């Protein structure tokens, strides 16, 4: 059970990723307290180290910390997910050149398999990765090294806490791993959530080292195979391999409105826009949807409440935007009720299948479907080249008064020709 792994995993994590993306194109923000706000500028979703030191928690509503923001001149920025997504792509492309195998874990995290680099100093190599990512993209990253993915995740946590200057912490070659684990609280371990933490604490297990010493049978009985694998990984036995990105099981597109919506016309525009975005994601993964669900809801904390949804099974699975919009709006009209102030709506696409394995229908118009595929290919190509939303369905509306508010959003520096960064010389030219 204590068999050690000869593998070496690296977890690369962008430091305060959303904030770092903003600083790349606005160096004047360096060293200043910055927070990024959620949709409609409601809550804190990202913080610089300076904001963390002020004690502002993640997810806090902005109005609750307004006094701290004003007192310390905190810069508040609206979330710019288009920019963050494109910067993430650039970081991941850079990382892909440093290892034969990579697993993208989230928008700002990726696992690298560095097993084949055991002949060299992996700590030095990891620092080279940090320097290259910073030089090529402007994003600072931290790297944790471990014999398992769980240990690499813990090492990354320590890299930010114990070694922020170098950005690298190596647990793969740690002389005494037990000492390090004895100083790590059990809740710092990947996969140990608050519910499991409380159960472990009640059993007297407070640190990662104590978790390593538990009986395997007891762990499996209390927390199943997943919990047992976590213990094995802490002991150095690799149980989790790198995984390729799996296709989505469903696709959800939903946002809160910038203002309350009352009319069916505005709701139709929003549902059409969300359906269009979901269809783009479908085509990007070469999938088609067999089921569409539409939901609407009012503000749960103000005014009369109304929440409803309905699911529609499509005659033939598809990823054609006009066809999906037609079905989505038909569903919306069935659940819409006049006299309510709606705050949020969304579209869920389910029963996804590869687009080349769609089961047709006896009465399906094949030629019309072929024309639809060509139209979608042209639309996607134009939007990819000219920026998202250049071509869109008229059903999505022009004014979009319901659109989510982004009062303090920065430019789309990397994805819009109209918002490219402007470089000025010392003479102001």
Residue 428: how many CA atoms within 13 Å on its side-chain side?
Answer: 0
Task: Give residue-wise pLDDT tens across range 250-303.
Answer: 899 988 887 888 999 999 999 999 999 999 999 998 999 999 999 999 987 788
Residue 242: how many CA atoms within 13 Å on its side-chain side?
Answer: 21
Q: What domains can be seen in the chain, in order of their start residue? A: 1-174 (3.30.70.270), 175-246 (1.10.150.20), 251-396 (3.30.1490.100)
Task: Give residue-wise pLDDT tens across range 307-323.
Answer: 999 999 999 999 999 99
Among residues 388, 405, 379, 394, which one has the least CA distance to residue 269?
394
Question: Across all residues in the chain, what is the average pLDDT?
Answer: 89
- For 174, the token pair is 């740690």
**CB neighbour list of residue 101: distance below 8 Å, 6 or more residues apart:** 112, 113, 242
> Which residue's structure tokens are 């399906």?
364
Give the three-state DSSP class for 213: coil
Task: Give residue-wise pLDDT tens across range 387-422.
Answer: 777 888 989 888 777 776 666 778 888 877 778 887
Q: Which helix (H) or strand (E) holds 349?
A: strand 342-354
Asked whether 52 and 31 are in contact (CB, 8 A), the reply is: no
Residues 179 and 184: their CA atoms lie apart, in Å, by 9
Q: Which contacts of 310-313 are long-range, i.e. CB under 8 A and separated by 24 or more positions?
A: 310/334, 310/335, 311/350
Q: How many CB atoms lie within 10 A of CB 116?
A: 12
Give the dihedral of Cα atoms 100, 105, 110, 113; nearest 10 deg: -40
pTM metric for this prediction: 0.75
> Which residue's structure tokens are 């890299």?
159
List, as one string, the DSSP characters of 59-125. T-BGGGGHHHHHHTT-EEEE--HHHHHHHHHHHHHHHTTS-S-EEEEETTEEEEE-GGGTTS-HHHH
Residues 343 and 299: their CA atoms lie apart, in Å, by 5
Among residues 182, 214, 184, which one has the least CA distance to residue 199?
214
Task: Give residue-wise pLDDT tens across range 22-78.
Answer: 999 999 999 999 999 987 788 899 999 999 999 999 989 999 999 999 999 999 999
Task: Give residue-wise pLDDT tens across range 76-123.
Answer: 999 898 899 899 999 999 999 999 999 988 899 999 999 988 778 999
The total number of residues shown for the chain amounts to: 429
Residue 403 DSSP label: P
What Å distances lie between residue 395 and 280, 282, 314, 374, CA to CA? 16, 19, 20, 20
Residues 352 and 132: their CA atoms lie apart, in Å, by 38
Give the three-state DSSP class for 255: strand
Residues 131 and 125: their CA atoms lie apart, in Å, by 10
């Amino acid at each position: 059970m204590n068999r050690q792994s000869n593998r070496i995993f690296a977890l690369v994590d962008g430091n305060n990723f959303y904030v770092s993306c903003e600083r790349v194109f606005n160096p004047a923000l360096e060293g200043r307290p910055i927070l990024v706000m959620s949709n409609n500028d409601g809550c804190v979703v990202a913080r610089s180290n300076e904001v963390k030191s002020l004690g502002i928690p993640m997810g806090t509503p902005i109005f609750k910390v307004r006094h701290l923001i004003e007192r310390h001149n905190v810069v508040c920025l609206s979330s710019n997910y288009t920019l963050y997504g494109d910067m993430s792509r650039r970081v991941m492309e850079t990382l892909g050149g440093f290892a034969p195998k990579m697993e993208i874990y989230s928008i700002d995290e990726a696992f690298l398999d560095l097993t084949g680099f055991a002949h060299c100093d992996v700590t030095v190599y990891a620092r080279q990765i940090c320097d290259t990512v910073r030089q090529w993209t402007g994003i600072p990253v931290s790297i944790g090294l471990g014999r398992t993915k769980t240990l690499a995740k813990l090492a990354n946590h320590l890299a930010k806490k114990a070694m922020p200057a170098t950005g690298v912490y190596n647990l793969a070659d740690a002389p005494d791993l037990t000492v390090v684990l004895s100083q790590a609280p059990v809740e710092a371990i990947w996969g140990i959530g608050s519910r499991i933490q409380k159960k472990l604490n009640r059993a007297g297990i407070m640190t990662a080292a104590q978790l390593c010493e538990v009986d395997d049978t007891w762990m499996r009985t209390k927390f199943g195979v997943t919990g047992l694998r976590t213990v094995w990984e802490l002991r150095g036995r690799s149980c989790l391999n790198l995984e390729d990105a799996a296709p989505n099981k469903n696709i959800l597109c939903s946002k809160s409105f910038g203002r309350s919506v009352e009319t069916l016309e505005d709701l139709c525009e929003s549902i059409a826009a969300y359906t269009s975005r979901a269809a783009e994601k479908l085509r990007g993964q070469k999938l088609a949807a067999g089921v569409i669900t539409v939901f609407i809801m009012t503000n749960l904390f103000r005014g009369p409440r109304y929440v409803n949804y309905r699911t529609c099974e499509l005659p033939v699975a598809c990823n054609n935007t006009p066809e999906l919009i037609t079905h989505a709006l038909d569903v919306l009209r069935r659940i819409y009720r006049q006299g309510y102030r709606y705050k949020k709506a969304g579209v869920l696409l389910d029963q996804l299948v590869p687009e080349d394995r769609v089961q047709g229908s006896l009465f399906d118009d094949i030629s019309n479907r072929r024309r639809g595929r060509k139209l979608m290919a042209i639309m996607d190509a134009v939007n990819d080249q000219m920026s998202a939303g250049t071509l869109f369905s008229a059903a999505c509306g022009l004014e979009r008064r319901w659109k989510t508010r982004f009062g303090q959003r920065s430019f789309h520096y990397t994805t819009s020709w109209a918002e490219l960064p402007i470089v000025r010389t010392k003479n102001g030219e």
